[in-house]
């Protein structure tokens, strides 16, 4: 058994797989802004994917696609979207991408989760998840206002501090919610390829729905709910920009699933 501990993630590889691994070139397709935090997050994810995949002869890149060119694009593995809600819905429901993972990086709209489109996954927490986290905080701390975030530059647990340091060193600014989403959406695909040695879109779709094991540096291996939402803890931040709690708070039943809808019912 060969072990690698790299970038806050522990992976195990069976020796024969290590020896027999063929070179793999993975292209992830992306529609969205090519500047700003979500794009920097995607770039960070690709950078780390290549550092990790280099041990196995794997190479990763992200190809930017203009919306009008999507119908002529051969998406082999995954489609990452940082776009408006209507476009996300249109693409995910199209026949062309019925067997392709479509990953919503930044939209918090509950309607996208309620639609329960089988190939649509959501990295960023929904509005309802954030509202539930705030309700838990307010119930225990009625006189202390707080804001809900999915990431924070001062988060240190679960190797989050290392990710924050890597991001700031490479991208020149602090990591925010959207940057974490861009990083997570990219890195979980690369980690899945490392774990399975496969990158076909149809295989990846099933893998994300049933077998995802991803360390998002937020505690507990993240996986997707029936409605496509990524399970994850949320952070409560006070008016001084200080993290004061993590949701779900203690005492609330359901754990991570006390935040937002879980099923398609």
pLDDT digits (tens, 9 = 90+) for 80-118: 999 999 999 999 999 999 999 999 999 999 999 999 999
Model confidence band, residue 56 (pLDDT cutoffs 50, 70, 90): confident
Q: Domain 2-125+160-231, what fold?
A: Rossmann fold (3.40.50)
The pLDDT value recorded for residue 204 is 98
Cβ atoms within 10 Å, residue 173: 11
CA distance 169 to 14: 33
Enter the DSSP assignment of 249. P
Question: 222 or 154: whose pLDDT is higher?
Answer: 154
pLDDT band at 16 (very low <50, low <70, confident <90, very high): very low
Residues 29-34 have a mean pLDDT of 98
pLDDT at 243 over 60: yes
Euclidean distance between the first and the last CA atom of the chain, given in angstroms as a whole number: 43
Strand 147-149 with 234-237, pairing: antiparallel
Domain spans of the chain? 2-125+160-231
Q: What does the mean pLDDT of the chain come to?
A: 92
Indicate if the pLDDT at residue 35 is higher than 70.
Answer: yes
| Mean pLDDT, rounded, for 132-154 | 97
Contact 136, 253 (CB under 8 A): no
Q: What local confidence, expressed as pLDDT, does residue 140 receive? A: 96
Average pLDDT for 22-49: 96
The model's pTM is: 0.91
Cβ atoms 215, 194 nearer than 8 A: no
The 10 Å Cβ neighbour count of residue 76 is 15
pLDDT of residue 162: 98
Residue 214 has pLDDT above 80, yes or no: yes
What does residue 260 show for φ and ψ, rounded to 5 degrees? 80, 175
Q: Quick one: what percent of the chain has pLDDT higher than 90? A: 88
**pLDDT(221) > 80:** no
Give the tens place of pLDDT for each residue, 170-189. 999 999 999 999 999 999 99
Inform me whether the pLDDT recorded for 6 exceeds 70. no
The pLDDT of residue 23 is 86
136: number of Cβ within 10 Å: 22
pLDDT at residue 22 in the model: 62
């Amino acid at each position: 058994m060969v072990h690698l501990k790299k970038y806050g993630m522990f992976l195990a590889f069976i020796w024969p797989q290590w020896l027999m691994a063929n070179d793999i070139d993975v292209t992830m397709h992306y529609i969205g802004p090519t500047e700003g935090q979500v794009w920097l997050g995607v770039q960070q994810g690709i950078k780390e994917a290549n550092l990790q995949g280099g041990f196995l002869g794997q190479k990763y890149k992200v190809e930017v696609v203009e919306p009008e060119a999507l119908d002529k694009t051969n998406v082999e593995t995954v489609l990452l979207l940082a776009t408006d809600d209507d476009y996300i819905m249109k693409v995910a429901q199209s026949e062309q991408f019925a067997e392709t993972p479509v990953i919503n990086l930044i939209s918090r709209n509950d309607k996208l989760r309620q639609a329960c489109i089988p190939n649509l996954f959501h990295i960023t927490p929904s509005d309802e998840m954030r509202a539930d986290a705030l309700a838990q905080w307010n119930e225990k701390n009625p006189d202390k206002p707080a804001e809900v975030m999915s990431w924070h530059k001062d988060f240190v647990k679960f190797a989050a501090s290392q990710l924050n340091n890597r991001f700031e060193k490479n991208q020149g600014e602090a990591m925010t919610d959207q940057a974490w989403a861009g990083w997570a959406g990219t890195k979980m695909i690369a980690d899945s390829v490392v774990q399975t040695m496969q990158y076909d879109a149809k295989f990846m779709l099933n893998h994300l729905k049933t077998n995802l094991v991803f360390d998002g540096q937020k505690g507990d291996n993240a996986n997707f709910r029936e409605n496509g939402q990524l399970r994850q803890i949320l952070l409560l931040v006070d008016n001084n920009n200080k993290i004061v709690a993590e949701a779900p708070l203690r005492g609330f039943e359901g754990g991570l699933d006390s935040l937002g809808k879980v099923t398609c019912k």
